[in-house]
Chain A
């Protein structure tokens, strides 16, 4: 991506139509913010407040909303790591990764390396449904990382993984982010994770969500590995505006 142009998100209103006895549901209202190149924005907010909906809109998968999204470049390479793995069950893990890239793309040469990095060496020729959910999540992460994206959207990617595995994958994400200019939007409920990874934390309010708080994370890379500094920053960010 031509470095310099921010991603501009302006969602005036996002409404899900009434179906099956449910009233029309306005999920997002006046959610507008900019994300600078290379920024790592963490989105948090109560369950059901519209975080996944927002990422779907940014990814261009949901076009039924009022507002506009400016990605800052004509065709940035964008990857979305969904809340669920969404692998093709009838293709092996390795085939899933290969298929996510055009045939003959040079990035296909990195598939085996990234599979090793996420710890799926043994399982790469297995069908997804014959592996654990955690393994499927890791495969989905590998599929996202191998894209070498300019914009990376991630929706609670590390849930249901054990601590060491999750930590290893966070490090992989940080490596990726450091090695290429990647703009990240990352949804999580885990505040420690939010502070450890993000350069900025956006908190959405429940019910017709708008932005409740927008804070920069004031930690250096080395601070982020220190528990007490992370905890202190977490307190500063999350306890200045208490949860509603």
Chain B
């Protein structure tokens, strides 16, 4: 048997970073190669995309569009988390409600995002609020399903303990219920962010909004301006990854820190 290789946590992180770096470098190299061989306006190389990114950034367009889109993402995200959590806990706690609303959930889960977006604009008009609502509605069933699972798994043993020691509603919520739901909320938040930011772009493109990354990409698409499309996509991926690693993952680690 080979001796198990022991790595300190720092060593493990460094190794993982190295692998990520190697894999990303390979990807960029392949991309450059493909761009060079095709030599087409429709497949710009990394340098060209970076150049456009620089121009957009210098003109301020990148920042204003990114920030407006991020505000929309944030609003839709929190709205979806809030409503989805409330629905999920309600139906997870009451068997009757679960039986009744289960089919509704299945229906909404399977409703294509495009249908929700289209109908929202038709019924509510192309306002800012509609855009946010349309995105949130796409995400709510997902959050609800995950939180329902959390509510179903609430420990009876612990709620009996809380009752025995007269915890009362507030103390029970804070020390017994919410900590049990936190891992489910964290999972819902992470998968939620990934979904929400993609849908926001579609909503911006379809709703004829004059601002936002989605609008920008849509406009570039009209001119077959691939470098701009890629520049915005790249910028957005970076920002979302920063949110993921800088906020969501530390948050998740924090709510799980008591685990063995």
Cβ B259 vs Cβ A129 within 8 A: yes
A89 / chain B contacts, CB cutoff of 8 Å: 258-259
Judge whether B176 and A88 touch: CB under 8 Å. yes
Say whether B157 contacts A90, CB under 8 Å. Answer: no
Q: How distant is the Cα of A143 from the Cα of B161 in the complex, in angstroms? A: 11
Bin the interface of chain A by size. Answer: 20 to 34
Contact in complex: A90, B161 (CB < 8 Å) = no
Q: Considering only CB atoms, which chain A residue lies closest to B156 in the complex?
A: A61
Q: Whole-angstrom distance between the alpha carbons of A17 and B158 in the complex? A: 22
Alpha-carbon gap, A90 to B210, bound state (A): 48
Expressed in whole angstroms, the minimum distance between the Cβ of B195 and any Cβ of chain A is 28
Residues in A neighbouring B166, C-beta threshold 8 A: 102
A-chain residues with CB within 8 Å of residue B167 when the two chains form the complex: 99
Tell me if B's interface is mostly helix, strand, loop or mixed: helix
Question: A101: which B residues are within 8 A, CB to CB?
Answer: 165
B158 touching A88 by the CB < 8 A rule?
Answer: yes
Could you say which of B158, B164, B176, B258 has the most chain A C-beta atoms within 10 Å of its C-beta? Answer: B164
CB neighbours of B157 from chain A (8 A): 82, 84, 86
Return chain B residues, CB-CB under 8 Å to A177.
Answer: none
Give bound CA distance, A130 to B260, whole Å.
6
Identify the closest chain A residue to B180 (Cβ). Answer: A90
Query: Can you name the residue of chain B whose Cβ is closest to the Cβ of A92?
Result: B258
Given contacts A86-B158, A89-B258, A90-B258, contact A80 B164 (CB under 8 A): yes
Is there a chain B Cβ closer than 8 Å to A100's Cβ?
yes
In the complex the two chains form, is B158's CB within 8 Å of A100's CB? no
Q: Which residues of B contact A78 (CB under 8 A)?
A: 164
- With both beta carbons as reference points, the residue of chain B lying nearest to A100 in the complex is identified as B165
Q: Mark A169-193, 1 if CB is under 8 A from B, else 0.
A: 0000000000000000000000000
> A88 touching B260 by the CB < 8 A rule?
no
A101 to B175, CA, bound (A): 13
Report the separation of the CA atoms of residues A79 and B167 in the bound assembly, to the nearest whole angstrom.
Answer: 13
Distance between B155 CB and nearest chain A CB, rounded to angstroms: 8
Check if A61 sits within 8 Å of B164, measured CB to CB.
Answer: yes
Tell whether A127 is near chain B: CB-to-CB under 8 Å: yes
At the interface, yes or no: A10 with Cβ under 8 Å from chain B?
Answer: no
Annotate A123-135 by CB proximity to B: 1 below 8 A, 0 otherwise.
Answer: 0000101100000
Contacts of A82 in B (CB 8 A): 157, 160-161
Q: Which of A84, A99, A130 has the most CB of B within 10 A?
A: A99
In the complex, which residue of chain B has the Cβ closest to the Cβ of A147?
A: B165
Can you list 10 residue pairs at the A/B interface with Cβ under 8 Å? A61-B163, A61-B164, A80-B164, A88-B176, A88-B179, A89-B258, A90-B258, A100-B165, A129-B260, A143-B165
Extra 9 A-B pairs, beta carbons < 8 Å, given A61-B160, A99-B171: A82-B161, A86-B160, A88-B179, A89-B258, A90-B258, A91-B258, A99-B167, A100-B165, A129-B259
